[in-house]
Chain A
């Protein structure tokens, strides 16, 4: 079964600085999707960025970018120019491209942004 591991329960960053959140996963599949979701106190999961495993190029969305290392099964999220509104729980998630395509989540990283 696929598992997702986030080894950093909490991270802190100064406003305007850069922070990297770590994620590793375990799978025997070759075709899958990886996601980073943000969950603010409002509870709604908001998609931050998505990566298709067949794409070698790392995904980028404005201040958010990923470092996808398929061989190492690593998928880290870099937040540049951190803003106070970035403070939230961040979840890494895996979804198979096959039939059993339910989304599997890590335990989350709580990001604090200091003014």
Chain B
């Protein structure tokens, strides 16, 4: 049973560019949450998708947007990249009614 799959694993972008990160949830899960984890810090909640709609959002600017597809997979888009966007981006899936998350191994984004 495949867990949460994220792609790519590593990415290097230039300031001002746009990036798209992808996540395939664990089989049977319907909810996808995205987190940003800066070096040496705990993950910070970006947003959560359920039934193809953004259900909740953390304290992140509109440059961060997302999408969920009918097969429950999800994308995280970041526009106008800043150096401070360099971080590990984690995707977590769950059932909306469940208590815990299953995490992917993340995408390491470096902005230069």
Write the residues of chain A forming the contact surface with B, with a CB cutoff of 8 angstroms: 4, 6, 33, 35, 37, 42-47, 50, 52, 91, 95, 100-108
Contacts and interface: CB of A to CB of B under 8 A. Distances in A.
- Greatest chain A CB density within 10 A among B33, B42, B44, B92 is at B42
B48 to A, nearest CB: 6
Interface residues of B, number: 22
Interface of B: 33, 35, 40-45, 48, 56, 58, 88, 90, 92, 99-101, 103-106, 108
Contacts of B45: 102-104
B90 A107 contact: no
Nearest to B4: A44
B92 A103 contact: yes
Contact of A106 (B42, B100, B101): B42
A102 B42 CA distance: 14
A75 B35 CA distance: 23
B68 to A, nearest CB: 15
5 contacts: A37-B103, A45-B43, A52-B99, A104-B45, A108-B41
Contacts of B105: 42-44
Contacts of A107: 41-42
A46 B35 CA distance: 15
A103 B106 CA distance: 16
B88 A105 contact: no
Given A102-B33, A105-B43, A45 B103 contact: yes
A51 B92 CA distance: 19
By Cβ-Cβ distance, the 9 closest A-B pairs, closest first, are A105-B42, A45-B103, A44-B105, A102-B45, A33-B99, A43-B106, A107-B42, A105-B43, A43-B105
